Structure 1
């Protein structure tokens, strides 16, 4: 018989050392975002489903857990991604002219895990820029994402770039391809060349030029030379050329990090509209940061705005880092002596960790190492090293 202490599948408790590491990193990242001029917002965990999924693709709908509001009878959704909520805040509540930079941090829940080793509960933190369609906003977001990983202590990161507009232009040039967009995007994500080749057969085959271009995308992976190869094998379509030009401009500006191009690294069709990127590092089984441009999402909230941003899961990021060391602490004896309480208060106000043990207590803290203790000497409470 299952015990009542068991958690649902793909959910887990966070224990003290990891929880402290997550919280420390959360504070550091939000402080970093503020130095760039990003303002913190905190949308609700649950919203009406029509608002929560406005402007997003079907993938997010499948990841969103749903329930009925006992007050209104309407369907609610537990957010699976905070980006649409922040977009709503920018477009509908703030409604500012010009550029707005917003950041956020909070839990999100996936109805199903995204992968075999993935959790269903994430602590998502991210930053978004609204109101600027130029490549400058994409560069700022990418550099902030990279600086975030460096701040966390991640070594030897690799940045992979793609452009959602490129695939979108290919699909829109072929009506049959456009009608099968979700299927094609799934094949590209899996880099399924046999499946892509089969698109040329069947009762409603795609154009030969479309299939040829789609089959070329999974092989267009590597350094900046990929752009030149792509210009040779992909059709000369306005959206394709513009996408390659943008990627080439970004690659020329990002000369201080290992950068690759993966033209089949597609996101969700109908969500991203421009440059997309993923950050990889040794020690994590998949990307630790994902981001990109999504200019069309805010249209659903009554105000079309250029938008680009990134997000990451703090729990996933911390799980791949070196575990935190125990923090040095001061052990204080039990008792209600006024002078003792005053000394402990002064030490805590100075940032020291002071743990007062109870009578008969044997302190067993994984988080702290007691390298000092409070002792009374000549009528005064003083701190001395523990030998």
Structure 2
């Protein structure tokens, strides 16, 4: 038999889908409490839009050609199209816009914990606010969501793109050398970093600072203190000041215990321009949350507007919470019947459905594989007589008594 499954694209069954419903409901409610309105962008987008200034890695996109010969991509990122939508629909750059979304992302991912190439993502984009207040709200909302989902073992690393970029700005380093250095720093590979720095032309003090940066992570105040000692220009100092301001505001939200500093991590998306962050839960090595500030992205669509946002990988989140969702008693009633009772069973089920019961009405010969624990009540109709299945066995009941259960809200 042919195998038509595609690696990285998964079917979602009932129990998992219940998890998605429960998680997205909580996320949508919390976004709403912070003033975010829900939006949705197209599944297909222009390839050229994602290729602007190398904003998104080409090798991670699923590309196709439409009937007119235009190259399209399946949505590999939510931030870029929302920035486009905001610039197109809201021309006034002074507007403060708060958008939330829950959507599907298609992306080639290298991961040790998940091989999904199609996954659900939830996030927000806060456009038009360049302050630390905005960044603090973004991080605090993300923390609020994850904590409300029962993930107390939450760890959020905050970094600053401009800290490292400002260090590189004082050098003649080329893009290829920069990418290699960033990879060594992010992987905390100090030995390989030292060896590589020996082979390229950089001032000695810059090389020494670069070798210190991979270890700039940990408790926020201690890490920031060490980072200040490595600053050699005002831009680096400003980056640290911004992190401190954001952290102080996060304290007002009460989520500072989850926040740590890491000046050595980068982000795969080239559009980030300032503060960036990643979130980890329950000791899993793959980040479940990522985001940051992207103040220059909107200008590529004609509106110069600062912005910040985050995305939460819901599919990975469901994997983490796989035993946390209650599917018991999802339906009100399982109504099983024998052949002589077909008419009575169907008419009874229709009455209950008209009262907004959820009723699975099925001939008993097909009911063997049904999970009865998914139903609040199991009823059998035998020779037109009704019986309720209890722990003690079948108990006779009249139709009026069944209707009474509804009136009493017992089901």
1:225 aligns with 2:233: no
- What does residue range 97-136 of structure 1 map to in structure 2 within 5 Å? 97-110=94-107, 112-118=108-114, 119-136=116-133
Q: Which residue of 1 aligns with 2:59?
A: 62
For residues 324-373 of structure 1, the C-alpha deviation after alignment (integer angstroms, 9 at most, x for no partner) is 233213112453447514432245x2xx5322123522153459533413
The aligned residue for residue 77 of structure 1 is 73
- Report matched runs for 1:1-387 at 5 Å: 3-54=1-52, 56-59=54-57, 61-70=58-67, 72-96=68-92, 97-110=94-107, 112-118=108-114, 119-176=116-173, 180-202=177-199, 204-223=200-219, 224-232=221-229, 234-255=230-251, 256=254, 257-268=257-268, 270-321=270-321, 322-328=323-329, 329=331, 330-334=333-337, 335-337=342-344, 340-347=348-355, 349=356, 352-358=357-363, 360-366=365-371, 368-374=373-379, 375=386, 377-378=397-398, 380=400, 382=402
In 2, the alpha carbon distance for the partners of 1:77 and 1:286 equals 25
8 Å Cα contact 1:106/1:125 also seen in 2: yes
Contact residue 69 and residue 75 of structure 1 kept, 8 A: yes
Partner Cα separation in structure 1 for residue 372 and residue 85 of structure 2: 38
Q: Distance in 2 between matches of 1:95 and 1:41?
A: 17
In the TM superposition, residue 179 of structure 1 has moved relative to its aligned partner by 5.9
Moved more, 289-298 or 116-125: 116-125
3-state secondary structure, aligned to 1:88: helix
Query: Which range moves more in the overlay, 113-122 or 138-147?
Result: 113-122
For 2:168 and 2:267, locate their aligned partners in 1 and report how far apart those are by CA, in whole Å: 14
| Counterpart-to-counterpart distance in 2, 1:140 and 1:305 | 18
Alpha-carbon deviation of 1:26?
1.2
Name the CA shift for 1:304/1:240 in 2 (closer, same or farther; >3 Å): same
Larger Rg: 2
Give the match's secondary structure for 2:374. strand
Say if 1:37 and 1:326 are closer, same or farther in 2 by CA, change over 3 A.
same
Paired residues of 2:133 and 2:246 also in contact (CA < 8 A)? no
Distance 1:79 1:243 in 2: 31
Does the C-alpha gap of structure 1 residues 340 and 381 become closer, same or farther in structure 2, counting only changes over 3 Å?
Answer: farther
TM-score norm. by structure 1 comes to 0.89
Unaligned stretches of 5+ in structure 2?
380-385, 388-396
Out of 284-293 and 367-376, give the one that drifted further: 367-376
Q: CA deviation at 1:379?
A: 5.1
Please report how far the alpha carbon of residue 258 of structure 1 lies from its aligned counterpart in structure 2 after TM superposition: 2.7
